[in-house]
Amino acid sequence: MLRRPIGRILAPVAVALTTAGIVTYKAVRAHAGPRGVLVVAGDSYAAGLGLAINAPPALPAGPEMDLTVTGLPGTTTRQWSEVVGESLKNRSRRWVVFSLGTNDTGAPIQQLRGDIAKIAADCKTYKTGIAWIRPPRAVLLKLPEAAACWNAWARVVGEGRTFDTDANVKVDLGPDGLHPATYRPWAEALWSWLALLTA
């Protein structure tokens, strides 16, 4: 019978227990809501989510929660790439959560990738986390060209910092097939995800 050194047995167990402890700690902290200085920025989705987040009843807020929402309908990644650096230079944030890509359907993909890379670089320079809100996939029925834009955002931001809307909530779209009939369920799901992200 082979005997494995005790270190080889204990090391994986210690890693598993530590990981479980971190996950439990973050889950408990997340119940208090997001924490720190956050910005939700971008297009009409950002605007609608911001209004829904701020509508009563109030969603739970964690320690030192300071939320700014700047949603400008119709805006593109190119427009935001020109202002993010200056904005972060003037005031530090813990996270900037973008809703962008849907209005970039006419932009050349190389230009779009460059604009996203610039935004990511500016966030890194000012030690700000970057996250992205993936729109409801049902929107692709109306705007199939948006898939390339969304994929570009997802690649740069990464899975762990992408809020996958459809994986977290069912968003019922309104008559235009682009915007939700109501933003509140989407906002509540995003809020819970932000609580975990910032825990």
29 is a domain residue: no
192 is a domain residue: yes
114 is a domain residue: yes
121 is a domain residue: yes
133 is a domain residue: yes
108 is a domain residue: yes
- The amino acid present at 27, given as its one-letter code, is A
130 is a domain residue: yes
Which domain covers residue 100, as residue numbers? 36-198
The answer to whether the CB of 154 falls within 8 A of the CB of 148 is no
pLDDT tens digits along 122-181: 999 999 999 999 999 999 999 999 999 999 999 999 999 999 999 999 999 999 999 999
What CATH number should be reported for the domain holding residue 95?
A: 3.40.50.1110
Task: Give the predicted TM-score (pTM) of the model.
Answer: 0.84
Average pLDDT of the residues in 78-106: 96
Domain count, the chain: 1
Summary mean pLDDT of the chain = 89
